[in-house]
Amino acid sequence: MPLYSIDRFNKKSFLAVWEIAETEEQLIDSSSVPEDELKDILLSSSPRRRLERLAVRALINVSFDKRQYLGYEENNRPFLKNFPGDISISHAGSFACIYVHENMNTGVDIELLSRNFHAVEARILSPYEIGYLEEGEKQQQLCLVWCAKEAIYKVMNHRGIDFMRHIEIKRFMPRTKGKLSGTFTNFDSGVKTELKLHYKFIEEYALVWVAR
């Protein structure tokens, strides 16, 4: 069972990571997917997408004592049908992860460090963020900024968010693990929300999570 890690921060929250090394059949056998969820998963025409969703279900299965049922809201935001808290989900390459909190909204994102960010750099970064990129650290910085903005997008749960105009990540230098500071600006009211995020690198991936 490739449960890569599970960090229980307190009695109310945890971050769990699964390394996807099994076949689809092996994941089905080990993840105890409820029948209705399994039918929905198997409708996907993408083998990779099926593996990712089955790995998420395996994570849920090993992380909770009681059986949980995973559902999705109209905006595709996940929720657990018999758990009062919040769950955020992400997957990239050979990893899937979930971040769960009993009484706060959550956001998590994982991304491959070697991803080519050239196509999205000008679209998601503000002039301020572009200005603090360091040549020797640029790829790690870009990956962390991308993950941080994705995590904030998920935790804030607003429609129509523009990553460049509405989310800003403060200047930082990447370490093996650490914290990031971000700001979300509500595009209707103009109210700014300050957010503290956590990150770490695992293998060749960046992982960022936030709760509020």
Q: CATH code at 134?
A: 3.90.470
Verify that 73 and 129 share a domain, yes or no.
Answer: no
Verify that 138 and 204 share a domain, yes or no.
Answer: yes
Domain that includes residue 139, residue range: 110-211
* pLDDT of 67: 85
Mean pLDDT of all residues in the chain?
A: 94
pLDDT band at 75 (very low <50, low <70, confident <90, very high): confident
What's the mean pLDDT in 2-16? 94
* pLDDT of 34: 83
How many domains does the chain divide into?
A: 2
Verify that 81 and 34 share a domain, yes or no.
Answer: yes
Verify that 80 and 138 share a domain, yes or no.
Answer: no
Residue 157 backbone class (left: φ over 0; alpha: ψ -120 to 50; beta: rest):
left
Verify that 64 and 123 share a domain, yes or no.
Answer: no
For residue range 45-60, what is the model confidence (pLDDT) as tens digits?
A: 999 999 999 999 999 9
Residue closest to 90 by CA, chosen among 81, 82, 99: 99
For residue range 151-188, what is the model confidence (pLDDT) as tens digits?
A: 999 999 998 899 999 999 999 999 999 999 999 999 88
Question: Cα dihedral sign for 50, 121, 72, 21?
Answer: positive
Residue 166 backbone class (left: φ over 0; alpha: ψ -120 to 50; beta: rest):
alpha
Copy the structure tokens of residue 27: 């994941």
Domain's final residue, options 104, 138, 164:
104
Whether 61 shows a pLDDT value over 80: the answer reads yes
Residues 113 and 176: beta-carbon distance below 8 Å:
no
**25 CA to centre of own chain:** 25
Verify that 99 and 114 share a domain, yes or no.
Answer: no
Verify that 118 and 80 share a domain, yes or no.
Answer: no
Residues 169 and 149: beta-carbon distance below 8 Å:
yes
Place of tokens 């998920």: 154
Which has the minimum average pLDDT: 115-119, 144-148, 162-166?
A: 115-119
Domain's final residue, options 104, 133, 158:
104
**Dist. CA 31–CA 2, nearest whole Å:** 12
One-letter amino acid identity for 98? I
Domain's final residue, options 85, 104, 123:
104
Return the percentage of the chain with pLDDT > 90, whole number: 82
Q: What's the length of the chain?
A: 212
CATH number of the structural domain spanning residue 11: 3.90.470.20
Q: What is the pTM of this model?
A: 0.95
